[in-house]
Amino acid sequence: MHRPHLLSFTIALLMFGCGGESASSSSGADISPAMASSEAFVQQFREALESAEPGDIIDVPAGVHSFKRALTLNTDGVTIRGKGMDKSILSFKGQISGAEGLSVNASDFVIEDLAIEDTIGDALKVNEGENIIIRHIRTEWTNGPDVNNGAYGIYPVQTVNTLIEGSVAIAASDAGIYVGQSKNVIVRNNRAEYNVAGIEVENTIGADVYDNIATNNTGGILVFNMPQIPQRGHSTRVYNNQVSRNNTENFAAPGTAVSGVPKGSGILVNSNDNVEIFNNQLSDNDTANILISSYFSANYAGQKNLAKEFDPYPEYISIYGNTFQGGGEKPGADYLNQIRVALYGPTGAFPDIIWDGIVNPEAGTDGPFICVNNSEAKLLNLDAGNNFEGAQVNMAVHDCEVDKLPAIVLRGALANAS
């Protein structure tokens, strides 16, 4: 529970138009009535967030509402509701303070039907909380891909029981939709476009990612584990998604984890276990439609300093029922392109699935269990651990089964949503 409340606060917000806030020393001369009414909304909206009580529904009217500093919400049980992701717009163009647009530390939180645009850092961050619904939200940097865009669009981290649906994430310089260190998550019916990573599930336990469209990102859908953070992730299902043409040049800041993602990556699993990839439509992802890699191929720093408890190897990966078209013709990393040419000729293409082939030397015959039962689809083992000398396709070793993961079931107030 978060702390008690200063004031009870109810708002009836009927304002339309454009307006916003400025630093307090500037004058308010020459503003139109419509702008003045939206400026009043900006103030009221901030007050509503700051003095919210559980059960509050905070409406955001249609219009472009401009903010110069971050918004924060710490009260459980609040709903923020706009009139539509193209109508109610929280614009942070020209933001001068705060690392996010809207920063939330609360449970039983619902945000729906609005847009958050042009934040200087992350657009919507929910840091710790249970029962989170993010629905019909658009996060966008309206200038398109740019290293100076904020890192994350929709960013729940350390949440439990979380639903992200019907949302749109565009031009984040890291991930459009990023679920970090969370448990029991559904990401569905979203569109992620022109981000470095379209949808990224990282260090998360139990996630279903389905019915999404990930296109024109550097990498479409990523399932990652990173070392040295509190929760090790596993058990993600990625299915029924359309993952196509994720060939946008990587525009992430150097040094970030996703800066090593080669452009043209469809679905990319890194260092994560128990991942099921099925019934997706993958097409024209120029590096490969599906990539499976260990931490050692992620082009990260710190690879030799891994903590002992970190498992850098992807294991128990199951790939079946996907449809593939095109892809693998123009890998987005020089070393991958050289291997492609060496193995398949100047005009040849990688098979639909590539794997770095780096396995736990202590695993013995237990194997990594990268299981592929996907009709004619082939997996190329790059043998990256041996300078690619043994790169080959050998589907026999991938003819295996791992137990199917159970569907994610949202609980409590979110039970009806699933």
Partner 1 sequence: MFALSTKPKARLLKRPFTCARWLIPLCLVILGACHRSPEVQFFGDQEYPQKLSAWGLMQLDNQLIRLPSEQQVYELNTPLFTDYALKLRTLYLPVDTSISYRATDAFDFPVGSIISKTFFYPVNSSGAIALQSSWNGNPHDIDLSVHRLIETRLLVRQPQGWDALSYIWRNGEAYLSIIGDLITLPVDDGSELNYLVPSRNQCAGCHAENHTHGTIHPIGLKARHLNRPHPIHARNQLLNWQQSGDLSGAPQPALIPRNARWGENNGDLNLRARAYLDINCGHCHNPRGAADTSGLMLDHQASDPAHLGVCKPPIASGRGSGGHLYDIVPGNPELSILAYRMSTTDPAAMMPELGRARVHREGLTLIEDWIASLSGVCL
User: Which residue ranges make up the site for partner 1 (CB under 8 A)?
Assistant: 1-4, 6-7, 23-26, 43, 46-47, 49-51, 68-70, 72-74, 95-99, 103, 105, 120-122, 127-128, 147-148, 150-152, 157-158, 173-174, 178, 180-181, 226, 228-230, 253-257, 300-305, 307
Minimum Å distance from CB 244 to partner 1? Answer: 26
Nearer to partner 1 (CB atom), residue 49 or residue 275: 49
Q: Which two tokens stand for residue 83?
A: 């009139």
Nearest to 188 by CA among 221, 166, 159: 166
**How many CA atoms are closer than 13 Å to the CA of 222, on its beta-carbon side?**
37
Minimum Å distance from CB 300 to partner 1? Answer: 6
Minimum Å distance from CB 398 to partner 1? Answer: 31
Cβ-in-10-Å burial (0-12, 13-18, 19+) of 307 comes to exposed
Instruction: Name, in order, each residue with C-beta under 8 angstroms of 371's C-beta and a sequence gap of 6 or more.
Output: 317, 318, 319, 320, 398, 399, 400, 401, 402
**224 three-class SS:** strand
Minimum Å distance from CB 160 to partner 1? Answer: 11
Nearer to partner 1 (CB atom), residue 121 or residue 351: 121
Minimum Å distance from CB 293 to partner 1? Answer: 16
Nearer to partner 1 (CB atom), residue 4 or residue 345: 4
Nearer to partner 1 (CB atom), residue 6 or residue 396: 6
**417 three-class SS:** coil
Nearer to partner 1 (CB atom), residue 300 or residue 320: 300
CA-based radius of gyration for the chain: 22
CA angle at 18 for the pair 13 and 20, rounded to the nearest 5°: 85
Minimum Å distance from CB 295 to partner 1? Answer: 10
Nearer to partner 1 (CB atom), residue 74 or residue 337: 74
